[in-house]
Amino acid sequence: MRALILVMDSVGIGAAPDAAHYGDEGADTVGHIADACMAGKADSPRRQGPLRLPNLVALGLGEACRLATGRVPPGLEAPPKHSRFGCASEISKGKDTPSGHWEIAGVPVPFDWGYFPQTVPCFPDHLLKELCARAGLPGVLGSCHASGTEIIAEFGEHHIRTGEPICYTSADSVFQIAAHEESFGLERLYEVCGVARRLIDPLNIGRVIARPFVGTSADNFRRTARRKDFSVPPPEPTILDFAANAGRDVVTIGKIDDIFAHRGTGRNMRADGNEALFDATLDGLGSLADGGLLFANFIDFDTLYGHRRDVAGYAAALEDFDARLPELLNRLRNDDFMIITADHGCDPTWSGTDHTREQVPILAWNAQSNPPVGRRAGFAHIGATVARHLGLPSPRHGAHF
C-alpha cells in the first residue's frame, strides 16, 4: 500500500471562482492549448493537429475540465475509463508554487505573502545595500520585475564582467538571483541566496530562488537545472511531516524538497526536465517501501512553456507526459493510490508571463471502483485523502473523498 502525488506544474483547467480578483477571469491553460491545437496554431516539428492526451483523458481529464468550465476541450472528449476525477479551486491567497503545493499537502495559506512593487527599482535600497555588504558583492543588476530568460540575456554579459548578480522578481512572492555558474560560482550563488533569505524574512517573501546559468553571451545563455529555492517552511505540519514522523518511506522528486523547506521530504531525487523527472519517479516508485509516500513535481510545463507563453511547446510537453503514463500505471499495485493534479495555472495564451489563478484537475487512480471526486473547494482534500489511504493522522484541513 503506497501513495503517489504527481503535480503537473501549472496545468490549470479553467479560471477559479475568484480569478477576476487576480486579473485572470477567463484563463484556461488546458482549454486554450486544446483550442489552439484544434485550430492548427500549435503545430510544430514536435507535434501537429488536435491535442492528444489519451491516458490523461482515460483518467478523467476531459470530464474534470467539464466540471471546471462547463465544456470538454477539443480532442479530450473520449469517456474516462476511471471514475475518480474532479477539480478543485484553491483557497490560499495568491497563485504561487508554495501555496499550491502546501495546500495539496493539507495546509492552506491563510495569510498574504509579501510582494515587491511594479517599480524600477523594485527592491528597497536598504535591502540591496545590506545584501551587498553581508555577501561581499560589488553591486547588483536588475532590481525589477522580469522574465528570467529575458533579464539574463539583457544583463548576463555585464554580470560576467563585473561580478554583480542579477536580482529580479515577478508577480509571485519571490526574490530571484541569477548568476553564472562558472564566473560567479554555484556555491557562492547559494551563499548569497542564503544571506538574502535571512534579510527578507521580515518582508514575508515566500522564496529566494537561485537561478544559475551558463553560456558566453546573450545568444547562448541558458539556465541550468541547479536552481535552488530557499523557502520558508509551511506554517503547520503537512502530510509529508505526518509520514516522516510515522517512520514511513518518503521520496520526493524535483523541487518538492525546496518547496517544503526540506521538512519531511525524505529522499529527494533531482533531475533536469520532465523526461528525467519521469525516470526519477519510476525509480523512486521502484524503491518506495510499503506504506510510503512519493511526491513529484514536473516543472517544464510552467518554466519552459507557461511563463514563456509557448503554446506549441506546452502542448508537446503535455503529450510527452501523457505518452509515458502507461509506464507508471503498469507499475502500480492493486492497493496503491495515485493522484495527478496541479498547483495553479500558467495559461500560455494569457497576457504577461505570470501564473494564472485557475482550478486544477484531480485525477485519482486505484484498483477499486469509487464515486467521482466532483468539485472541491480547496486542494487540501487531496492531502486528507492520501493521509486516509496511508493510515496517517488527518490534516486539520480538507476531507477525504
Record the pTM. Answer: 0.90
Q: Which pLDDT score, from 0 to 100, does residue 83 have?
A: 72
Please give the share of the chain, as a percent, with pLDDT higher than 90. 89
Average pLDDT over residues 306-314: 96
> What are the tens digits of pLDDT across the range 37-90?
999 999 999 999 999 999 999 999 999 999 999 999 999 999 998 778 999 999
pLDDT of 32 over the 70 cut: yes
Whether the pLDDT of residue 366 is over 90: the answer is: no
Question: Which pLDDT tens digit goes with each residue over 202-250?
Answer: 999 999 999 999 999 999 999 998 999 998 999 999 999 999 999 999 9
According to the model, what pLDDT value does residue 369 have? 62
Q: Which pLDDT score, from 0 to 100, does residue 172 have?
A: 85
Per-residue pLDDT, 112? 85
Q: Give how far Cα 230 sits from Cα of 20, 62, 122, 273, Å.
A: 30, 36, 20, 20
pLDDT band for position 352 (50/70/90)? confident
The CB density around residue 191, as the number of other CB atoms within 10 Å, is 14
| CB contact set of 389 (below 8 Å; sequence gap of 6+) | 1, 3, 337, 366
Q: Is the pLDDT of residue 93 over 90?
A: no
pLDDT band (50, 70, 90) for residue 31: very high
Domains of the chain: 3-110+235-390 (3.40.720.10), 125-231 (3.30.70.1250)
Give residue 171's pLDDT: 81
Omega cis (within 30) before 121: yes
- Over the stretch 147-174, which tens digit does the pLDDT of each residue have? 888 999 999 999 999 999 999 998 889 9
Mean pLDDT, residues 123-138: 97
Cβ–Cβ under 8 Å, residues 198 and 178: no
Average pLDDT, the chain: 95
Position 315 pLDDT exceeds 90:
yes
Cβ neighbors of 227 (< 8 A, separation 6 or more) are 209, 210, 211, 212, 255
Over residues 136-150, mean pLDDT: 94
Residue 393's pLDDT is what? 93
pLDDT at position 68 is 98
Rounded CA-CA distance 253/265 in Å is 9
For residue range 259-296, list pLDDT tens digits in order.
999 999 999 999 989 999 999 999 999 999 999 999 99
Percent of residues, the chain, with pLDDT higher than 70: 99
Cell of 313: 511547446
Mean pLDDT value of segment 86-101: 93
Rounded mean pLDDT, 380-399: 94
